[in-house]
């Protein structure tokens, strides 16, 4: 028995158990770009891979405050709004380090003897390679 969930729009897929309908409008597109569980699952999978890699390559420190840079990495879902007419919201994930010395770890103190770790280019390269190898075209 097929389950049909028609909100409005055109039927775009007929399966053995599910029929899919899609509203080709800004509202319909925005729903899939912001409220789709599959979207957030895919984004989380990619971001968690970046999180694990960021932690693996991060320097370990013994700061006097007890704050360790490697422990301050986190992934946060949010809605990003692209500028346009009309503005277009879409789901996104942010990988960030909330350490109070994150900028110093990344860029160093400006001297030749402390050029910083330059983690972000390495993390972006790692994520890009992972996406390419998975066959995604994001």
Per-residue tokens: 10: 């055109």
More confident residue, 122 or 77: 122
pLDDT confidence of residue 118: 93
- State percent of the chain over pLDDT 90: 24
Q: What is the mean pLDDT of the chain?
A: 78
Q: What number is the average pLDDT over the span 97-121?
A: 89
**Closest by CA position to 37, among listed 77, 83, 97:** 77
Question: Prior bond to 86 cis, omega within 30?
Answer: yes
Q: Distance between CA atoms of 70 and 61, rounded to whole angstroms? A: 8
Residue 11 has pLDDT above 80, yes or no: no
Q: How confident is the model at residue 18 (pLDDT cuts 50, 70, 90)?
A: low
Q: What number is the average pLDDT over the span 99-123?
A: 89
Q: Distance between CA atoms of 28 and 68, rounded to whole angstroms? A: 44
Q: Distance between CA atoms of 75 and 43, rounded to whole angstroms? A: 10
The answer to whether 28 and 40 are in contact (CB under 8 A) is no
Q: What is the pTM of this model?
A: 0.67
pLDDT confidence of residue 1: 38
Helix axes 37-57, 26-34, angle to 10 degrees: 40
Q: For residue range 19-73, list pLDDT tens digits in order.
A: 666 666 767 677 777 777 777 777 888 888 899 999 999 988 766 566 788 999 9
């Amino acid at each position: 028995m097929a389950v049909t969930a028609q909100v409005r729009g055109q039927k775009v897929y007929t399966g053995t158990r599910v029929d899919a309908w899609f509203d080709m409008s800004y509202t319909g597109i925005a729903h899939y770009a912001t409220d789709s569980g599959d979207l957030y699952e895919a984004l989380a999978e990619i971001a968690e891979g970046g999180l694990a890699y960021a932690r693996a390559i991060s320097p370990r420190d013994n700061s006097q405050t007890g704050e360790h840079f490697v422990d301050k990495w986190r992934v946060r879902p949010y809605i990003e709004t692209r500028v346009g007419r009309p503005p277009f919201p879409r789901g996104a994930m942010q990988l960030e380090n909330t350490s109070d010395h994150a900028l110093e770890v990344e860029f160093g103190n400006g001297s030749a003897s402390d050029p910083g770790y330059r983690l972000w280019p390495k993390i972006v390269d790692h994520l890009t390679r992972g996406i390419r190898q998975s066959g995604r075209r994001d």
